[in-house]
Amino acid sequence: MPEDGLEAKAADRARPPAETAGGVISLDDVYKSFGSGERRVAPLAGVSLSVEPGMKLVIIGPSGTGKSVMLRLILGLLEPDRGEIRVFGRPLGSLNRYELQATRKRIAMLFQGGALFDSMTVGENVIFPMRAMGERDEERMRAVASERLRQVGLPGTEDKMPSELSGGMRKRAALARSMACRPEVILYDEPTTGLDPVTSDAIADLINSTHAALAGANITSIAVTHDMRVAGKVADRIVMLYGGKIVGDGPPEMFERLGSGTLPDGASEMDRMIRQFVRGEADGPIRTVV
């Protein structure tokens, strides 16, 4: 049985460094709105962001601020109204259908809800993206699936149906599936929503260990979450979205500092927003609609 070390595979994948010179993913003054008239919502209104290769970026922000929309724009599943999105150095708007597909294959997405195909076994779910990418060697695919499931703490669950797993186990299985194709970028949309704090912490560990296992290939991880504990544990850098804009951008320590103690004199509106979000308070400059 061939050894399927993630590092070994990652090392094969030399990429020209120029490709990511301006960031593996970058957004330049991106606008995205939906609907018109009274029903118009504009989740992104001038967002610029550059993500360095190898980084673990966490995006936080209240519900409905466009976090999932941002991930879908990066995947080319949505198009911006204005502005440019570059992935692996190339503007998505300049890619034809095949180039876009090829770009997407280098990115894994763990969708919000971590949906598995309910009609397939767990093993088939993990194999699915490999098959979709044209892999034909059944034995090899099964071996990779077993290895990925073992890596996420679900050894021997290949033949179970998703309905037999708990919510946390389903997230883990979805993570095993997103790792199956040795991605260069992994996008996680709310990987811990609906999980208890202990399982959430284990998922944060798993994101970190997945990142470490693929670090040789300069894997870049971008996670969207509401959970500040997960954000603090995973992030090298946190970006907070609110009102269509980035209102905070810095290391987790900056967010911790703004969330604790007393606010210094002269704190900005943005500092107050970060503090309110980190502390989970209803009162403050962030307006919520309930």
Ligand X SMILES: Nc1ncnc2c1ncn2[C@@H]1O[C@H](COP(=O)(O)OP(=O)(O)OP(=O)(O)O)[C@@H](O)[C@H]1O
x-or-dash pattern for ligand X, window 40-79, by CB under 6 A? -x-x-----------------x-xxxxxxx----------
Report the Cα 177 to chain-centroid distance in Å: 14
Smallest gap, in angstroms, from Cβ of residue 80 to ligand X?
13
152 vs 234 by CB, closer to ligand X: 234
Q: Is 34 in the site for ligand X (CB under 6 A)?
A: yes
Q: How many residues bind ligand X (CB under 6 A)?
A: 12
Smallest gap, in angstroms, from Cβ of residue 128 to ligand X?
24
* Contact range with Mg ion by CB under 5 A, out of 8-16, 60-68, 227-235, 275-283: 60-68
Smallest gap, in angstroms, from Cβ of residue 145 to ligand X?
29
Closest CA to 94 of 104, 86, 82: 86
Q: Is 163 exposed, middle or buried (0-12, 13-18, 19+ CB in 10 A)?
A: exposed
Smallest gap, in angstroms, from Cβ of residue 116 to ligand X?
19
Smallest gap, in angstroms, from Cβ of residue 82 to ligand X?
16
User: CA neighbours within 13 Å on the CB side: how many for 142?
Assistant: 8
Q: Which residues of 205-226 are buried (b: 16+ CB within 10 A; e: fewer)?
A: ebbeebbebbeebbbbbbbbbb
Smallest gap, in angstroms, from Cβ of residue 67 to Mg ion?
5
Query: Judged by CB under 5 A, which of 20, 26, 68, 178 binds Mg ion?
Result: 68
Positions in 107-166 near ligand X (CB under 6 A): 112
40 vs 136 by CB, closer to ligand X: 40
Whole-angstrom distance, CA of residue 205 vs CA of residue 208: 5
Cα dist from 45 to 63, 241, 247, whole Å: 16, 10, 12
Strand pairing category for 41-51 and 25-34: antiparallel
78 vs 213 by CB, closer to Mg ion: 78
Cα dist from 251 to 178, 220, 232, 237, 288, whole Å: 26, 16, 9, 4, 25
Q: Which residues bind ligand X (CB under 6 A)?
A: 34, 41, 43, 61, 63-69, 112
Q: Which residues bind Mg ion (CB under 5 A)?
A: 67-68
